Amino acid sequence: MTPTLWSLVQYTTTGEDTRLGIAADGLLRTVPDALRDLDALSLLREWSTHRPLLLDLDVEALTPVDGASLLAPITYPNAVLCAGANYYDHAEEMGTARPDPDAEPFFFLKSPTTSVVGPDSAIAIFDDGRSKVDWEAELGVVIGTECTAITVAEAPAHIAGYVVANDISDRGVFHRDNSVFPAFEWDWVGHKSQNGFCPLGPGIVPSWQVPDPQSLKIRLDVNGVVKQDSDTAQMVTGVFDLVAAASRIMTLAPGDIILTGTPAGVGMPRHDFLRDGDVVTVDIDGIGRLTNTIVVK
């Protein structure tokens, strides 16, 4: 019998705190009793201990949950690192030089506490004439065990799972005129870390359910109109190489997330940006579907 595919989610019901759950076949279920008092970050901090139980999980034996609302699958990671210009087709549409797969990847940070939101969350943007808010469908890698300066071969053992992400970006505020120094011309905080600019979800798919993270279809639509349609084979630096490279910069902790870059189809080259009421959906085969609605502040 084919095992049931599932993901780890966080949810709440009216008047209750954040709880850990299992999502499978369109249903939300409770976790086994041994995990009942944990949230996602607590589980990940003891990933090696709980992994055997999850490997043998009998999803059908778990109790369904009614009337729940999904939250961000991790609240909150210690760090959210993002790989820039990491898809060949995206680099081409942005007019950059063809990335060198042997070069060290470029990373930037998003605020882990204020930018991370969950599925179905509204994302508030400015309507000030300057903001130009863009979408970026991405595969997120969730770290399961602490690692520092690991090799590419060691990286898979430190990955707990994968999640759908959208690296929301405000192109309008990215460049600053009349900066006091050339290095300060680029505002990465305003560009990438506004409130709600890192929607994640719906859940964390364990790594053993993803045989090859470099063969996943990734798509994004706005109001049902497809904008991005590619696959993770387009990555310049693959998932395991990214984890190893990030671990050489900083110690990666359980629950940390690495966003692996976005494929072609972002709005900037076509001056096509998000507006009030837009519904943005990211789909990654085998990982899930993430939907968020844009509202004006």
Domain boundaries, the chain: 7-70, 80-296
In the block, residue with structure tokens 């993770």: 232
Cα-Cα-Cα-Cα dihedral sign, residues 200, 206, 209, 214: positive
- Above pLDDT 90, what percent of the chain? 93
Buried-exposed string 115-132: b where 16+ CB fall within 10 A, e elsewhere: bbbbbebebebeeeeebb
Calculate the CA dihedral of residues 237, 243, 244, 249 and round it to 10 degrees.
Answer: 110
pLDDT of residue 192: 98
In the block, residue with structure tokens 């929301």: 168
93-132 pLDDT tens trace: 988 888 999 999 999 999 999 999 999 999 999 999 999 9
Tally: H helices and E strands in the chain: 5, 18
**Alpha-carbon distances of 232 from 140, 229, 240, 285, rounded to whole Å:** 11, 10, 13, 10
Token pair, residue 133, equals: 């808010």
Q: In the predicted model, what is the mean pLDDT of residues 66-73?
A: 95
Query: Is residue 178 very low, low, confident or very high in pLDDT (cuts 50, 70, 90)?
Result: confident
pLDDT higher than threshold 90 for residue 1: no
| Average pLDDT along the chain | 96
Q: Name the nearest CA neighbour of 193 among 99, 259, 268, 275.
A: 259
CATH class for domain 80-296? alpha beta
